């Protein structure tokens, strides 16, 4: 998700019911279309009031975040939940609440401490990424297609004269581009929840499985530009973001109105290859010219000049 230092200060977290009430209230006021976007001040003012009300009643599912005492860090986590909620709403799903993530073992205190440490060491706040593993390639393409034409996203004005790529969706604009070699089956293999964790006293990362079988994780990813390393792919799962984390990070950054990390040709980052016998691994980047998150498979050998984003959590 986007660097909280850059996020508009009026973007606050909301529970699903608060978000729905805010939208309904906004529509009732019959405001013009320029004030109906996710980043509109009028809608967010209404949203913030509903969030406060929900919190007071203990219904928002965000009370667990009160353990985070630093306002900037707390806002980063709140915003991550809000943006992931909006991301999966394009396909009719909902994101889990902080309380649901804590219920499966997510250590918010540890993540908050690591957030501060990473920001101090790297000079830029890390990204809090609430990622849905197991959506499948077609659902991600649907999200990318809808985002490409969503004018309520800040700074997202589709070019009416742009010729859509022949793939992945012929004749349609899509904010996600995938290598032709990444078939549905290959995607299924890549779209797996992580198996490693940095959380003390845990051997596997906490995973929340919702009623649709989607596996949600909450981890931190560097918000900076990784130094490209001319090396072969490292199979160690602790070294890499998952494909889903990379996608979620970049698409939620766009939802917030900002440019994702790993802009080509400056940077690209490895994603985890769960199949240790595979001869190739995915990497992810952002093409500002095409306004697309691009995912490519590359042969693990020979060496490649790519960055590494090692998740924390």
Task: Please tell me whether residue 80 adopts helix, strand or coil conformation.
Answer: helix
Cis omega (within 30 of 0) on the bond before 302?
A: yes
- For the chain, give the percent of residues with pLDDT over 70: 73
Residues 6+ apart with CB under 8 A from 44: 10, 11, 12
Pairing of strands 292-299, 176-178: parallel
Assess whether pLDDT exceeds 80 at residue 292.
Answer: yes
Q: Please report whether residue 3 resides in a domain.
A: no
Sign of CA dihedral 114, 117, 121, 124: positive
How far apart, in whole angstroms, are the C-alpha atoms of residue 19 and residue 122? Answer: 34
143 with 54, same domain: the answer is no
45 with 105, same domain: the answer is no
Q: Please report whether residue 275 resides in a domain.
A: yes
249 with 184, same domain: the answer is yes
Q: What is the pLDDT of residues 124-164, one digit of tens each?
A: 999 999 999 999 999 999 999 999 999 999 988 766 555 55
Domain total of the chain: 2
Assess whether pLDDT exceeds 50 at residue 43.
Answer: no
Q: What is the pLDDT of residues 221-280, one digit of tens each?
A: 999 887 776 667 777 888 899 999 999 999 999 999 999 998 887 888 889 999 988 889
Record the tokens describing residue 241, joined without a space: 């973001």
pLDDT at 163: 54
Domain that holds residue 239: 68-306
44 with 181, same domain: the answer is no
Q: Please report whether residue 8 resides in a domain.
A: no
Taking alpha carbons only, the member of 170, 110, 162 closest to residue 141 is 170
50 with 197, same domain: the answer is no
How far apart, in whole angstroms, are the C-alpha atoms of residue 39 and residue 143? Answer: 19
53 with 83, same domain: the answer is no
pTM: 0.78
Our CA angle for 115, 211, 213, nearest 5°, is: 75
With contact defined as beta carbons under 8 Å apart, do 143 and 91 qualify? yes
Q: Please report whether residue 33 resides in a domain.
A: no
Assess whether pLDDT exceeds 80 at residue 2.
Answer: no
User: Which span out of 48-62, 170-184, 201-215, 289-303 was modeled with the highest average pLDDT?
Assistant: 201-215
pLDDT at 50: 46
Assess whether pLDDT exceeds 90 at residue 35.
Answer: no
Assess whether pLDDT exceeds 60 at residue 312.
Answer: yes
Q: What is the pLDDT of residues 159-198, one digit of tens each?
A: 655 555 555 554 468 999 999 899 999 999 999 999 999 9
């Amino acid at each position: 998700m986007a660097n909280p230092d850059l996020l508009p200060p009026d973007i606050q977290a909301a529970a699903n019911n608060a978000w729905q009430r805010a939208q309904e209230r906004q529509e009732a006021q019959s405001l013009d279309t320029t004030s109906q976007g996710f980043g509109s001040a009028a809608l967010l003012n209404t949203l913030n009031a509903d969030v406060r009300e929900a919190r007071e009643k203990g219904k928002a599912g965000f009370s667990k975040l009160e353990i985070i005492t630093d306002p900037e860090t707390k806002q980063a986590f709140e915003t991550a939940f809000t943006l992931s909620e909006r991301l999966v709403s394009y396909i009719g799903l909902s994101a889990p609440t902080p309380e649901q993530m804590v219920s499966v073992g997510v250590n918010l205190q540890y993540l908050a401490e690591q957030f501060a440490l990473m920001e101090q060491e790297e000079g830029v706040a890390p990204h809090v990424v609430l990622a849905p593993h197991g959506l499948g390639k077609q659902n991600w393409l649907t999200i990318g297609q809808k985002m490409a034409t969503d004018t309520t996203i800040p700074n997202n004005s589709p070019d009416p004269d742009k010729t859509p790529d022949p793939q992945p969706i012929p004749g349609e604009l899509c904010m996600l581009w995938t290598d032709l070699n990444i078939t549905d089956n290959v995607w299924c293999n890549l779209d797996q929840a992580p198996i490693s964790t940095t959380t003390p006293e845990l051997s596997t990362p906490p995973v929340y499985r919702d009623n649709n079988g989607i596996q949600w994780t909450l981890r931190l990813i560097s918000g900076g530009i990784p130094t490209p390393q001319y090396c072969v792919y490292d199979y160690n799962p602790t070294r890499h973001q998952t494909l889903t984390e990379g996608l979620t990070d970049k698409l939620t950054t766009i939802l917030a109105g900002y440019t994702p990390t790993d802009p080509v040709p400056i940077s690209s980052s490895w994603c985890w290859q769960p199949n240790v016998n595979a001869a190739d691994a995915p990497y992810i980047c952002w093409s500002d010219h095409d306004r697309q998150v691009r995912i490519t498979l590359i042969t693990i050998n020979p060496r490649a000049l790519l960055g590494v984003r090692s998740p924390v959590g």
